[in-house]
Structures are given as structure tokens and as C-alpha cells.
Amino acid sequence: MAKGYIRGREADIHESHHHVMPIATYMKVFGSLMVLTVLTVLVSEADLGSASLPVAMLVAVIKSAFVIGFFMHLKYDTRFHSFVFFGTLLFIGIFFMLTFVDINTRGTLDNLHANGRYAVDHGLTVRPEPVPHEHTGHEEVNQPIPHEGEAAPAHEGEAAPAAEGEAPSH
């Protein structure tokens, strides 16, 4: 019995004869993979509408589970190898999820303050009152904007509290 060290702890390691699977198991796995392939094609034929992608992915995951578990011996292998494999899938998941968080949420936080939903709860910035708009369309555009006059003080009034309202209330 060769003396040796595994992960720093002294242990007698037997001549590691690997778990050898009978040929029948291989054939069974192969058979089920074939069935699942046919199933994949059938799934794509049937009109499942929006569910077709998840179902196709599910079938692919089952097939890959067979290949990984039996053909790649992960089922009978040291647990650290499975940890490496599924750890990688976790990081791929992070990559996909956070990228799609960005792609799918563009513009959702716009007008957070203006439509008051956020501002009201925290009273941080007072949403400016919609100043009555006389100016519509292009033709009036070249006269000075009528509301310019009273807009200034309104803004100043509004701007000032907003600024102070800002700092202390956090």
C-alpha cells in the first residue's frame, strides 16, 4: 500500500481503482439521450408559444445532466470537481443576470422625483408645480415665454427649500 498524502493529511491511499461502470449502464444512458433528442425536436414542432424556450432548455439540461453524471463520471468523482463545475455555472449566471438587469430596466427610474412617487415618501425634493403653460405649438415661440416672469421667483422659492431639504434629512 503506497504511503501518500492527500490534502495535507497523512492517509493510506489504496491503489485507486476507479469505479468502472458496466456497459449496460452506458447503453441505457445512450438510449435515454436519443429519446431526449427526439423529444427536443418534438417540443419545437409543438406550438407551446412563450413556454417553448424554457421547455427546450429544460430538456437540454436533462440531457447534459446525463452526459455529465455518467459519461464524465462526475457522479462518482470527488465532490470538489462537481463544486468547480457548478461554481462556474453560478458565475455564468451572475454574468447573464446582471447584464439583463441593465438591458431590461432602462428608463424605469426616470421621472422618479417628478411624478412624486419617490419625492412624496421622502419629502426630499419638492416637485415643482406644473406652471400653467400658455405657450403651445411653434407659432408663439418667438415671444419671450410669458411665464418667464413669475417662473423665476417660483423656482427660486422652490429651489431654495429643495437644497436645504436635501442635506440634513438623510
Partner 1 sequence: MMGLSSHWLADAAAGLANDMSDASFWMPTQASDQASRVDSLFDFILWLSVFFFVVLMAATVRFAWKYRQKSPNQRTSPVKHNFKIEFLWSAVPTVLLVVIFAWGFNDFTALSATPSNALNLRVVAKQWAWTVSYPQLDRECTPTIDPVSGTQATTFYLPANQPFTVQLSSDDVLHSFWIPAFRVKKDAVPNRYTGFTVTPTVPGSYHLFCAEYCGTNHSRMEGTVEVLNAEDWAKFLSKEDERCKLDLKAPNYGEKLFAKYGCAGCHSVTEDRATVVGPGLYGLPGREESTSAGKVVADDDYLRESIVYASKKIVSGFEGKQMPSFEGRLSEQEIGALIDYIKGLDGHENDGGPTNDDKNE
Partner 2 sequence: MATTTVEGVEHGHGHAHEVDFYKESHGLKSWLFTLDHKRIGIMYLVGTLTAFMIAGILALIFRAELLTPQIDLLVNAANPNFQEAASLGRDLYNKLFTLHGALMVFVFIIPVVPAALGNFFLPLMLGAKDVAFPRLNLLSFYIWVLGTAILAVAVLAGQLDTGWTFYTPYSTTKGVGPVVLANLGAFVLGFSSILTGVNFIVTVHKMRAPGMTWNRMPLFIWALYATAVIQVLATPVLAITLLLLVAENVFNIGIFNPAMGGDPVLFQHFFWFYSHPAVYIMILPAFGIISEVISVHAKKHIFGYKAIALSSVAIAIISFLVWGHHMFVSGQSEFAGALFSFLTFAVAVPTAIKVFSWIATLYGGSITLNTPMLYGLMFLFTFTIGGLTGLFLGALSTDVQLHDSYFVVAHFHYVMMGGNVIALLAALHHWYPKMFGRMYNETHGKIGAALVMIGFNLTFFSQFMMGSRGMARRYAEYQPEFQPYHIASTIGAFILGLGLFFTLFYLVRGLFKGKKVGANPWGAVSLEWATQSPPIMHNFHDTPHVDSDPYNFPEIDHSRATGGHH
Partner 3 sequence: MSTAMDVEHGHAAHGHDAHGSDHPAFVAHHFDNAGQQEGAAKLGMWVFLATELLMFSGLFLAYFYMRSQYPEMVLEAHHELNKWLGGLNTVFLITSSLTMALAVRAAQVGNRKQSSMMLVATILFACGFMVIKYIEYSAKIEHGLLPGANFFAQHVTTAGGEMIQKAWYGGPQLFFGVYFLMTGLHGVHVLVGIGLLVWILIRTNKGQFSEHYYTPVENVGLYWHLVDLVWIFLFPLLYLVK
Interacting partner of 40 out of partner 2, partner 3, partner 1, none (Cβ under 5 to 8 A depending on kind): partner 3
Joined together, the cell numbers standing for residue 90 give 453560478
Which of 10, 12, 121, 139 forms a contact with partner 2 (CB under 8 A)?
10
113 forms part of the interface with partner 3 (CB under 8 A): no
Residue 15 interacting partner from partner 2, partner 3, partner 1, none (CB closer than 5 to 8 Å by kind):
partner 3
Three-class SS of the chain: CCEEEECCEEEECCCCCCCCCCHHHHHHHHHHHHHHHHHHHHHHHCCCHHHHHHHHHHHHHHHHHHHHHHHCCHHHCCHHHHHHHHHHHHHHHHHHHHHHHHHHCCCCCCCCCCCCHHHHHHCCCCCCCCCCCCCCCCHHHHCCCCCHHHHHHHHHHHHHHHHHHHCCCC
Write the binding mask 123 to 142 for partner 3: x where contact by CB under 8 A, - elsewhere: --------------------
Rounded to a whole number of angstroms, the minimum distance from the CB of residue 91 to partner 1 is: 24
Query: How many of the other CB atoms lie within 10 Å of CB of 71?
Result: 13
Q: Does 114 bind partner 3 (CB under 8 A)?
A: no
> Footprint of partner 3 on residues 45-104 (CB under 8 A)?
47-48, 52-53, 56-57, 59-60, 63-64, 67-68, 70-73, 77-78, 80-81, 84-85, 87-89, 91-92, 95-96, 99-100, 103-104
- The grid coordinates listed for 43 are 417540443
Contact positions vs partner 1 (CB under 8 A): 106-114, 118-119, 122, 124-125, 127-128, 130-131, 133, 135-139, 141-145, 147-149, 151-152, 155-156, 159, 162-163, 166-167, 170
